[in-house]
Amino acid sequence: MAFTLLMLYFTRKQSQFQNIYTNLLPHYITVVAGTVAVIATAYDQMVTGAVFPYVLFCFFYTVLVRLHPIVYGVYLLLMYLALFALLPEFQKNQLLLNNIRLNTFTVTLASFLISLLQWRSLMLQLHHRSIIEKQQQKLATSYQAVMENTELLNQSNETKSKLLSIIAHDLKGSMGNMRQMLALMDAEIDMDVAERKLWIHTLKETAAKTHQLLNNLLLWSRSQLGNLQVEFENININKLVHEQVQYLHEMALDKKVTYVNEVPNQMYAWADINMTGVIIRNLLANAMKYVHENGKVTIRASLDKKSSMMKIEVEDNGIGMEPAQMQKLFTVNTKSTLGTNKEQGTGLGLLLCSEFAKQQGGYMQVTSTIGEGSIFYCVLPAAKTAVHID
């Protein structure tokens, strides 16, 4: 263990030393090469009086090595001063000495300017490269987002197409049954009064269900297109529940279902009366679908003063649901099961409830127990000025 820690320590130190060495290497080469160039130029005065080593270093080294212009300028200045001091020791011709000093100063200044231009060009390249990389990252992110949105849109369109095909099948079946029954009634078939009343009652029931389905489909389509405007107002939940119960009165009589309205008289919500009415009506119809004959559906409402929200509960004593089935409720992927009297459905009503609740700043919940029934909750904003009276 100690050996491992020791190796890790030296490995880390070695990495640090390598980084320091890499950073200092250009400076070391500059100092060594510059010193050699200065000494070679000074000694060369004894033979030719040329400054070729110094010129060679200044221009070639400026092109090959990338140092910050200020740092490189300091090195060039030190080299020039060193050469300026050494030249009189090797060059005794004063006129030639002055020319050499002027030429080396010009070369030094030119090298510094070239270094400055190269550094600026390098910084511009790095800046442009950074901009391009950022743009490429943005494009990649945007492309990924577009692909994800496209996939979600394709999935949404696919599920909506499935839902519409189910609705079309149900509508076709309902209209076909009504047409056949009307054709048989129109034919002069011997039919007693009781049987004719039964057929008429069946037609009325089928027409009511078809009307409910078409109404939900119309509202859902308008919701998808964004054509529904939410108009908030204080609405009396007790009164609204009573109106929706009356709307489903005949269907409840056929199945002998009892509706119990336990909503307090002064329970108000800050919501859209039409949307909330659709929610309550669909929840009541859904509860009636899954209760047995002589079943019971109870409607309650309560206020949460802390959250300023109110909860509408629709409880039935029907067949209940499995947890897996509850997870798919309120989505396009839900698959409606047959009711206790083999009633068919599309799941569009609960989907509409969820969307309308969200548009009003609320949400839907459900709890259920197999064989005991289900409770659907619609949570909506409570009226700010309403008073809850128990």
- As a whole number, mean pLDDT of residues 56-75 equals 77
Sorting pLDDT into bands at 50, 70 and 90, what band is 95?
A: confident
pTM value is 0.54
The answer as to whether 186 is a domain residue is: no
Q: 143, 159, 189: which is the final residue of a domain?
A: 143
Which residues are bridge partners to 382 per DSSP? 269
Range with the lowest mean pLDDT among 10-14, 74-78, 332-336? 10-14
Most confident range, picked from 205-209, 298-302, 342-346, 382-386: 298-302
Residue 99 belongs to a domain: yes
Segment (H or E) for 252: helix 249-255
What is the rounded distance in angstroms from the CA atom of residue 206 to the CA atom of residue 179? 11
Q: Is 203 a domain residue?
A: no
Query: Ramachandran region of residue 166, left (φ > 0), alpha (ψ -120 to 50) or beta?
Result: alpha
In eight-state DSSP terms, residue 228 is P
301, amino acid identity = A
State whether 246 and 121 are in the same domain.
Answer: no
Q: How many CB atoms lie within 10 A of CB 220?
A: 23
Please name the residues in contact with 144: beta carbons below 8 A apart, sequence gap of 6 or more.
none
- Over the stretch 280-313, which tens digit does the pLDDT of each residue have? 988 998 888 889 888 899 999 998 888 889 999 9
Between CA 172 and CA 170 the distance in angstroms is 5
Distance from C-alpha of 158 to C-alpha of 153, rounded to nearest angstrom: 8
Q: What's the pLDDT score for residue 4?
A: 43
Looking up residue 275, the CATH number of its domain turns out to be 3.30.565.10
Q: What is the pLDDT of residues 259-270, one digit of tens each?
A: 999 999 989 999
Tally of domains in the chain: 2
Q: How many CA atoms lie within 13 A of 134 on its CB side?
A: 6
74 is written with which tokens?
A: 């300091």
**Where among 117, 143, 169 does a domain terminate?**
143
Lowest mean pLDDT among 54-68, 88-102, 156-170, 376-390: 156-170
DSSP category for residue 256: T
Does pLDDT of 106 surpass 70? yes
Kindly state whether residue 334 falls inside one of the protein's structural domains. yes
Overall average pLDDT of the 30-58 stretch: 78
pLDDT of 268:
92
Q: Within this chain, do residues 373 and 242 fall inside the same structural domain, yes or no? A: yes
Domain extent at residue 327: 235-381
Q: What is the CA radius of gyration of the chain?
A: 44
Q: Residue 8's pLDDT is what?
A: 44
Which distant-in-sequence residues (6+ apart) come within 8 Å of 36 by Cβ? 53, 57
Question: Are residues 139 and 246 located together in one domain of the fold?
Answer: no
Q: What percent of the chain has a predicted confidence (pLDDT) above 90?
A: 13
Last residue of a domain, one of 143, 178, 205: 143
pLDDT of residue 362 exceeding 80, the answer is: yes
- The pLDDT, as a whole number, for residue 209 is 67
* CA dihedral for 176, 177, 181, 184, sign (positive or negative): positive
What is the rounded average pLDDT of the residues 23-48?
A: 77
**18 has pLDDT over 60:** no
